[in-house]
Chains A and B, each alone.
Chain A
Amino acid sequence: MLSFIFIIIAATFFTGIIIRTKSIASGRKGPGIFQPIRDVIRLFKKGAVYSETSSFVFRIAPTIYFSSVFVAMLVVPFGSSKGLISFNGDFIFFAYVLGLGKFFSIIGAMDTGSSFEGMGASREALYSMFAEPAFFILMGSLALMTGHTSFQEIFSTLHLGSSITYALAVLAAFVFLMIAMIENSRMPIDDPKTHLELTMVHEVMILDNSGFDLGLILTAGYLKFAVYGAIIFNLFSGSISYGYAIPLFFIMQAFLAIVVGLIESFMARSRMNHNAQFIVVLSSVAILIFFGALLVSGKFI
């Protein structure tokens, strides 16, 4: 329950901080950190324009995409307080329910019959496929280290004791951050600010969405960032008391947002055909963590 409230609060400023960081890094003043939320509210008040090619799939796709992210959010715990949905292997559900959202966002894009949106859909399908093994191996290694298989149990029993566990946690945070970047179509994979349809991934898929639907898609994006931020927070929080955990959560979210902003400011998007390799590297890092986990749990013989 706690995680549910905190993630929603974090989602309100996460993207705003990214944008603010980027504008400061490029020497501009930039909009306020709640500007993205204002944008969404404005979109919610608008009517909609649908493509004449599109069918009911296009109309329900954004809603299902949003719902999938929302349900995924319910799974994420806050420190030792469980998420609303928690069971053994809930992280499998987490990844697969996000898959439902992806499925619908892809077919929603295909529904417009546009060449651009098909392109984005194709890329999204490929990249998300590659990002998933890294997540599963990473969660597997954490499960191995702790002996549990649900988010809450894994994170509340994860003790960062020795130097090697810290190294693993840093690597894991890196992988989670990169997965978050891929899931949200951010910098090394995709540039949300690009102006050419041919070079977009996520943005081109939602070209034809407008009004309420677009608002839902954007909100889902903000939530996704906060969800991954919460997972990274959980990685380090252990079982500290709420008095420390709550401020730490928000500091961590803000810090991650700044990191994302800095990455986006000082890094160029990789070439489209290098993206796949980049994502495979993530899986390799995850396997590295896996072997590290073996080392920690003393199963390396």
Chain B
Amino acid sequence: MIFVWGFMLIPFIAMCFIPFVKMKGKAIAVYSAVSMIAILTSYLAFRGLSGQNFDITLPGSLVSGPVQLHIDALSAWFMLIINFSFLTGGFYGIFYMRTYRSQAKNINLHAILFIILHTSLISLCAIQNSIVFLVAWEFMALSAFLSIIFEHEKIATVRAGINFLIQSHVSILFLTIGFIWVGSHTGSYDFSAIHSYSMTHSGALSLMLFLFFFTGFAIKAGFVPFHTWLPYAHPAAPAHISGIMSGVLIKIGIFGMLRMLLLIEVDYTTVGTIILVMSIISGVYGVMLAILQHNLKKLLAYHSIENIGIIGIGIGLGCIGLGTNNPVLCSLGFAGALLHTLNHSLFKSLLFFTAGNVYQATHTLDIEKLGGLVKKMPQTSILFLIAAIAISGIPPFNGFISEFILYTGLYNWMHNSLIVSLTGIAFTIMALVLIGGLAMMCFTKAFGVVFLGNPRQTFQHEVKEVSFLQLLPLYFIAAIIVFIGMFPGIFLNMLVKPVQLFTGIRQLPFASFQGNGMEALLSVSHASWYLIGIVIFMLGIRKLVLRKRTIEVLPTWNCAYAAPTAKIQYTASSFVKTYSKLFGMIFLIFKKEKEVEGIFPTNAHLETHPYDKIEKWFIDYPTTNLKKFLDRFTFVQNGRLQFYILYGILFIISIISIPLMYDKIIEFFEFLKEL
């Protein structure tokens, strides 16, 4: 009980303090609140990971009934990820927000929202009551929305925020329908009711119920085609919020899916296939569009969609493993998904934070205007490089480990399956490989264009590295990225309990990640050590050899062209030109072009804006039509006060009279039937 009180009181006290103290005090208040909550909940989470569940029942209210709090290994894993992201993101955010210190009120709100976001995300992992869950979910959505629109004087930011708000509420709508469905059938809003409902009802109904929850959570997680809010919300938000959003906010959707899988008894093979197909589409589509983006944060946002796809592939494989009673596939699938959730939260928040550094130094995120930052911001560049290698799934960093687990699962599945699933496996492998290759292309582009070469534009202000304290959390994240790559065994051991929850659904035998074709997961780290050892050895030799040699620094080879400028460099668009031509039919690229013509040519220009084809057909087309239809009812909104009062009265009358007249209406229908 003391934990619950502490958990509720700490944020409350901090929130009361924040408006009344100076800037430094606010920072301390926010950070101490976040770290206290983090310590408190991490303690419970570590206990959960070691198998000691935390259970408590609060009295609740008349509406919700008793509220169960339950922290098992799955909640614990996500709570730890959330806490880590908030600790690093909060620390980074304190220094990132220093530029805005003149906007005291805005900062107050932002600080309070930061705490609310943290507490709501943590509590979502523990709450076992539908109504309270929805309230916490709403808290999370609203605080995220308000955090996104921090720079609300920009119209694009507000638009992005509202886009997020609407889509969040569509997600809430689906969840609400799912919860009410269960609530109306069982009369209880406890999560255990979902389980008992699915046990007593036929497979098709459970599947429908699961799909409702899946859709709701998929919107939050950003599965294609529900991904369209991500590319707007991420660039609009301040860097630390983008990092946290991509790192943990969208992961709460993944958490929701996993939780529902534990609760709802469905045909796991079907569900797994659905998730797998959607994830493959998300993964490939996300990265394909990421390559085209010119805005660094938008590019990273599309990569979040891709990585959600990879996580989803893991969940899909795990479900299929459950459905086919294949313990190896099941454990590897879920382990890959859970580990990739952690990995993605690490490297993606690192990427967003470094992008934030770039934005602070140059005031732009348009990668076509950047270049050569490695000389001015060497530390940011190295951090970005580490994260870029990790996200491309290349050894020796953490991204490779989780992808390797998924590959191992896939190749294991291959040995005992037949033609249909084998074709599926082949496609999944191809998709994973393609995602890896495309991600590499995307990040060589991003790193090469933003940090390498010559500056493409001269800035009026000095471009300089951010302060060391701001870089400190980034170094910490980078260290963990390397650490997971080197010692994956530690993290795999932590994953044993969460994975056992899933294998336990069907009582599949799974004790640890050893034997049964899984021993490779540990030796893969030896290979990474070899790799790092050889790289260091070769660098040493190189240094030794070059010590006595003459080293000159001369201009780049330009075919003897005498006056090279920064403009002759390959740009981001030219880097992906061949690619975008090749896959032209998938993309929608708006082009504004004025060609060079005449004997004395005047200015020519070319502008391209990549757009999302799925957004066009799935979001824009329906909304424009809906708008057209609803435009016919604009006469209702005529702006006269009398009418609004009239509407109010009509509403109240109908609310009161319809129940009263219910019997009469029934009688009327009976009468009609008799006729």
Please give the residue numbers on chain A whose beta carbons come within 8 Å of chain B beta carbons, in ascending order.
Answer: 44, 46-57, 60, 63-64, 66-68, 70-71, 74-75, 84-85, 87-90, 92-93, 95-97, 99-100, 102-103, 106-107, 109-119, 121-123, 125-126, 128-130, 132-133, 136-137, 140, 143-144, 147, 149-150, 197, 207-208, 211-213, 216, 272-273, 276, 283, 287, 290, 294, 299-301
Contacts and interface: CB of A to CB of B under 8 A. Distances in A.
B404 A110 contact: no
Given A103-B389, A113-B556, A132 B415 contact: no
Given A49-B554, A88-B520, A107 B447 contact: yes
B452 A125 contact: no
A198 B255 CA distance: 50
16 contacts: A49-B553, A56-B378, A64-B535, A71-B531, A87-B520, A87-B523, A92-B408, A107-B385, A113-B453, A114-B568, A122-B578, A122-B579, A126-B441, A140-B429, A144-B422, A299-B418
Contacts of A63: 535, 538-539, 542
A132 B551 contact: no
Contacts of A97: 394-395, 527, 531
Contact of B582 (A87, A100, A276): A276
Contacts of A55: 374-375, 378, 381, 452
Contacts of A130: 437
Contacts of A109: 448
B178 to A, nearest CB: 38
A85 B533 CA distance: 14
A121 B426 CA distance: 29
B361 interface: no
Contact of B415 (A70, A123, A144): A144
Contacts of A299: 417-419, 422
Nearest to A146: B415
Given A136-B429, A140-B426, A301-B419, A110 B449 contact: yes
Interface in B539-576: 539, 542, 545-546, 549-559, 566, 568-570, 574-576
Given A50-B551, A99-B394, A93 B578 contact: no
Interface of B: 371-372, 374-375, 378, 381, 385, 389, 392-395, 400, 403-404, 407-408, 411-412, 414-415, 417-419, 422, 425-426, 429-430, 433-434, 436-438, 440-441, 443-445, 447-449, 452-454, 517, 519-520, 523-524, 526-527, 530-531, 534-535, 538-539, 542, 545-546, 549-559, 566, 568-570, 574-579, 581-582
B526 A96 contact: no
Q: Which of B433, B519, B523 has its CB near the most chain A CB atoms (within 10 A)?
A: B433
Given A129-B438, A197-B559, 9 more contacts: A57-B374, A63-B539, A66-B538, A71-B531, A92-B404, A116-B557, A122-B570, A137-B426, A144-B414
Contact of A132 (B437, B557, B577): B437
A159 B76 CA distance: 48
Contacts of B412: 149
B519 A87 contact: yes
Contact of A49 (B393, B545, B552, B559): B552
B555 A106 contact: no
Contact of B411 (A85, A126, A140): A140
Contacts of B531: 67-68, 71, 97, 100
Contacts of A213: 542
Contacts of B524: 87, 89, 93
A85 B539 contact: no
A95 B407 CA distance: 12
B545 A44 contact: yes
Tell me the dominant secondary structure on chain B's binding face.
Answer: helix
Given A89-B408, A96-B393, A136 B523 contact: no
A137 B430 contact: yes
Contact of A276 (B408, B415, B555, B578): B578
Contacts of A144: 414-415, 422
Nearest to A148: B415
B576 A99 contact: no
Contacts of A119: 570, 574
A283 B570 contact: no
A300 B454 CA distance: 56
Given A63-B539, A299-B419, A143 B552 contact: no
B122 to A, nearest CB: 35
Contacts of A273: 578, 581
Nearest to B583: A276
A90 B527 contact: yes
Q: Which of A60, A63, A84, A272 has its CB near the most chain B CB atoms (within 10 A)?
A: A63
Q: Which of B412, B440, B546, B553 has its CB near the most chain A CB atoms (within 10 A)?
A: B440
B580 to A, nearest CB: 11
B394 A100 contact: yes
Contacts of B395: 93, 96-97, 100
Contacts of A100: 389, 394-395, 531
B454 to A, nearest CB: 4
B549 A103 contact: no
B560 to A, nearest CB: 11
